[in-house]
Structure formats: structure tokens, C-alpha cells
């Protein structure tokens, strides 16, 4: 039997979660569907009903012509899966929106997975089970070193076909800050390239991998087809934003980048120059520069150097030491002119993969992006000029949970 108090408490946790933070339309949809489940149990919720009562569509709304509701439902399913595999992994209950339905279901986690034990439970939910139980929409991690296979990026991008984002109403899924900040990238002659980092490794995934060191590894075979967890989730976020803007992105790993790309297209770089090595070959940041520490107890770690510190600013920005759990990172968010001044480069890079994820979230979440545009004094696309910024990222249990702007430079 549905426990109304426990169900509502779980809905409140979801709405307040990091996964749904900043997604006002998804929170609104979730609360509406939850209310329908409580007040009208067993009564199907219609797509037309959601469109008119939740998203304010007119009475002539036609679900056959406008897939907005299906898109939003798909996004909500993805966010629920994300929540229950991160911050909600220990919640005693699970809220599910089964595919093909708009009736939310409420499960006792013990009853749902009771026979397989806690460890298998987490894996079972991530993997998905048959007969309508929750199905995981996020990628699985490929190593304890926080590396993820590049193939997962393609998997995430394929979800667009199911979500049909292009056919949705831009007013519902593309708030003004997105249209202002991303207009240059979304309205160019060609689709922008997203260049993600894929550092050189030696070894094998099954026996252990580490960064390639020319002094030690000589002619050892190099693996350059892995990237970080943050980069994978970052591309997923970018894909959703560009879908909402009715535009596509093209994705390429850094080792395959060519100068022709820099000459002819707008570029979005994901990952720092330590792993996205192509950033060393083209115009990059000048005020906030990535540098590897060469000596001392932090030797080998990356830091961001503040070339011209202003009053109250740190001269260097450095993440939590690598021998303890990561609780803080720093990232650069920068818009610069490309080799061809007619094109732009957006650099989104942390000193760790989680900082990189946070950098992309900073420009793909409405609340963060609104704050950035306000700090830049930008209210329309034509006012957006090159800038460089550093954000401080708070991390909890391997998830970026809060970001704040700590340094900003603008140029004409």
C-alpha cells in the first residue's frame, strides 16, 4: 500500500537534490505527477493533460505534433536514474516513472531488491531490470581510477533519438540565459565541435593503467581512447542544451583534433591542457593558466595559476590533495577568440575530471548561467565578449554539488 507520508518525503528529497537542482520544469512535472498518483491512484495521466496543466499549453495542443511532454518525461527519467545512483543510493524508497507511462510508481527498495543484497542492489538498479522496473540511463564506470570508455559518449548521444528534443518547444526547454549565452555556437554555419580530453595511458584496464611518462615508458603502447567520468557527463549535458536549442554538436576526442577544425569551426574544449593536449597548440587562456606542480608533496598535481591576481584573490587555485577524498576542485570557464577570429573557443576545464564536469554544469544550468551573465553584465547575445573565469567546486561523494565564481576577467 502506498504510504503517503513516505512518498511525499521522497518527492521532497528529489526536488531538493543536486540532480534536479536548477531544473524547475522537471521539478514541476515531478510534483504534478506525484500529486496525481496520490489524489487519483490508478487513473492514467494523459499527455494533453500534462501539457495544458503543467506547461501552460493552449487548448489546441496536439501531442502528435509537439513532443514536448515526452521530451520532459525522458529528461525526468534520466534525472531519477542519476539521483538513485549517486546521492540517493541509500534512500529506502525509489520513485520511478516507467517508460511509456506518466504514472509515477513508488517502491520500497528492500522489497524491490531484497533478495540480492545491498551491493547487488546498487548494480541491479544501475543495470536495469525487466518487467517495468527502473532502467539505468547513465553510463557505467570502467575503472576505479575514474575513467570511462569513450564509447559511452556515443551511447549518451543516441538517447536524443528517443527524446526527440528537436521537436519540442524552445520556450519550454531553452530559458533565456541559454539562448543568450549559446547563441553564437548554436546559430553558426556549421555545428560546433566538442573536443574532449583523452590523455595518453600505458597498461591495460584489466591489470591497471597510468599516465604515459616519456622518460619511463619509452616505446610502450599508448592507450588514448579513455576519458574521465566528468567529460562523459559533460558531453551529455551539452547535448541536452543544444537539443533544446534545436542544434547539434559534433564530438571528437582530442587526439583526433586537427588545425582545420580550429580554422573552420567554433570549438568547445572539455578538459584541461594536461589531458586535452590540443589546447597547447591553439590560442588558450592568458589570465588563468593550467600548470603541473613539479616538486614538493603536491608534485604531479595540476593547479590553476592566476597570472595577475587582484585584491582578495589567490595566486594559485589547487584542488584537494590526491591522497585524500576529493572535496574541492577549481575549474576554468573561458570564452576566447580562435585561430580564425571569426570563430570562438569555449574552454571548460577543471584540475580533475569532476572539476571539468562542474565547469560544463556552470554553463548548462540556468541558475549558474544566469549568475555568470549578470557578473558579465550581459543581457543579450551581442553583449557577450571574451572572458576568463575560475570557479570553486565543492565535491561530495564523488559528485560536484556546488560551484561559485571566484575570479573573472573580461576583454574587448
Q: Phi first, then psi: give them for residue 343, nearest 5 degrees.
A: -120, 160
pLDDT tens digit sequence for 163-181: 333 334 444 457 889 999 9
Classify residue 302 as left (phi > 0), alpha (psi -120 to 50) or beta. beta
d(Cα 157, Cα 360) in Å, to the nearest integer? 16
Q: Are 204 and 210 in contact (CB under 8 A)?
A: no
Residue 328 clears pLDDT 90, i.e. is over it: yes
Measured distance CA(53)–CA(308) in Å, rounded: 52
Of 82-91, 189-198, 272-281, which range is least confident?
Answer: 272-281
Which three cell numbers, joined as nine digits, stand for 309?
591576481
Q: How far apart are the C-alpha atoms of 230 and 211, rounded to whole Å?
A: 17
In this prediction, what percent of the chain has a pLDDT beyond 70? 81
Residue for cell digits 554544469?
Answer: 361
Please tell me the predicted confidence (pLDDT) of residue 405: 96
Give the pLDDT confidence score for residue 256 in this predicted structure: 81
Where does the pLDDT of residue 215 fall: very low under 50, low under 70, confident under 90, or very high at 90 and above?
Answer: confident
How many CA atoms, within 13 angstroms, populate the side-chain half-sphere of residue 218?
1
Q: Of the candidates 219, 224, 222, 240, which has an alpha carbon nearest to the alpha carbon of residue 363?
A: 240
The answer to whether 407 and 390 are in contact (CB under 8 A) is: yes
Mapping DSSP to helix (H, G, I), strand (E, B) and coil, where does residue 258 land? coil
Domain assignments of the chain as residue spans, ordered by start: 4-127, 147-410
User: Do 36 and 101 touch, CB atoms closer than 8 A?
Assistant: no
Residue in the structure block whose three cell numbers are 592507450:
223
Residue 95 and residue 103: Cα distance in Å, rounded? 11
Amino acid at each position: 500500500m502506498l504510504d503517503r507520508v513516505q512518498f511525499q518525503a521522497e518527492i521532497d528529497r528529489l526536488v531538493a537534490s543536486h540532480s534536479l537542482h536548477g531544473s524547475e520544469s522537471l521539478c514541476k512535472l515531478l510534483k504534478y505527477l506525484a500529486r496525481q498518483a496520490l489524489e487519483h491512484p490508478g487513473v492514467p495521466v494523459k499527455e494533453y493533460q500534462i501539457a495544458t496543466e503543467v506547461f501552460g499549453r493552449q487548448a489546441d495542443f496536439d501531442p502528435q505534433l509537439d513532443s514536448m511532454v515526452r521530451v520532459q518525461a525522458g529528461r525526468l527519467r534520466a534525472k531519477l536514474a542519476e539521483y538513485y545512483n549517486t546521492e540517493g543510493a541509500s534512500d529506502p524508497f525509489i520513485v520511478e516513472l516507467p517508460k511509456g507511462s506518466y504514472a509515477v510508481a513508488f517502491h520500497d527498495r528492500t522489497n524491490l531488491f531484497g533478495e540480492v543484497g545491498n551491493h547487488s542492489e546498487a548494480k541491479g538498479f544501475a543495470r536495469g531490470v525487466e518487467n517495468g522496473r527502473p532502467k539505468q540511463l547513465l553510463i557505467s564506470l570502467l575503472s576505479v581510477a575514474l575513467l570511462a570508455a569513450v564509447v559511452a559518449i556515443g551511447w549518451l548521444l543516441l538517447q536524443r533519438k528517443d527524446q526527440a528534443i528537436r521537436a519540442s518547444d524552445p520556450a519550454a526547454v531553452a530559458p533565456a540565459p541559454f539562448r543568450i549565452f549559446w547563441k553564437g555556437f548554436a546559430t553558426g554555419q556549421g555545428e560546433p565541435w566538442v573536443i574532449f580530453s583523452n590523455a595518453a595511458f600505458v597498461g591495460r584496464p584489466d591489470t591497471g593503467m597510468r599516465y604515459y611518462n616519456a622518460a619511463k615508458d619509452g616505446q610502450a603502447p599508448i592507450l588514448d581512447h579513455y576519458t574521465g567520468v566528468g567529460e562523459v557527463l559533460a558531453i551529455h549535458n551539452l547535448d541536452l542544451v543544444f537539443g533544446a536549442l534545436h542544434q547539434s554538436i559534433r564530438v571528437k576526442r582530442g587526439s583526433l583534433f586537427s588545425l582545420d577544425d580550429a580554422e573552420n569551426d567554433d570549438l568547445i574544449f572539455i578538459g584541461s591542457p594536461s589531458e586535452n593536449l590540443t589546447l597547447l597548440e591553439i590560442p588558450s587562456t592568458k589570465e588563468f593558466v593550467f600548470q603541473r606542480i613539479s616538486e614538493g608533496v603536491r608534485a604531479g598535481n595540476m593547479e590553476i595559476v592566476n597570472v595577475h591576481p587582484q585584491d582578495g584573490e589567490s595566486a594559485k587555485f589547487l584542488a584537494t590533495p590526491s591522497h585524500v577524498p576529493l572535496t574541492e576542485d577549481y575549474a576554468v570557464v573561458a570564452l576566447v577568440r580562435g585561430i580564425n577570429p571569426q570563430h570562438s573557443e569555449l574552454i571548460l576545464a577543471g584540475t580533475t575530471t569532476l572539476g571539468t564536469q562542474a565547469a560544463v554544469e556552470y554553463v548548462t544550468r540556468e541558475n549558474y548561467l544566469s549568475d555568470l551573465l549578470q557578473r558579465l553584465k550581459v543581457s543579450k547575445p551581442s553583449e557577450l565578449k571574451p572572458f576568463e573565469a575560475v570557479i570553486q567546486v565543492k565535491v561530495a561523494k564523488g559528485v560536484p554539488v556546488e560551484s561559485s565564481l571566484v575570479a573573472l576577467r573580461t576583454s574587448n
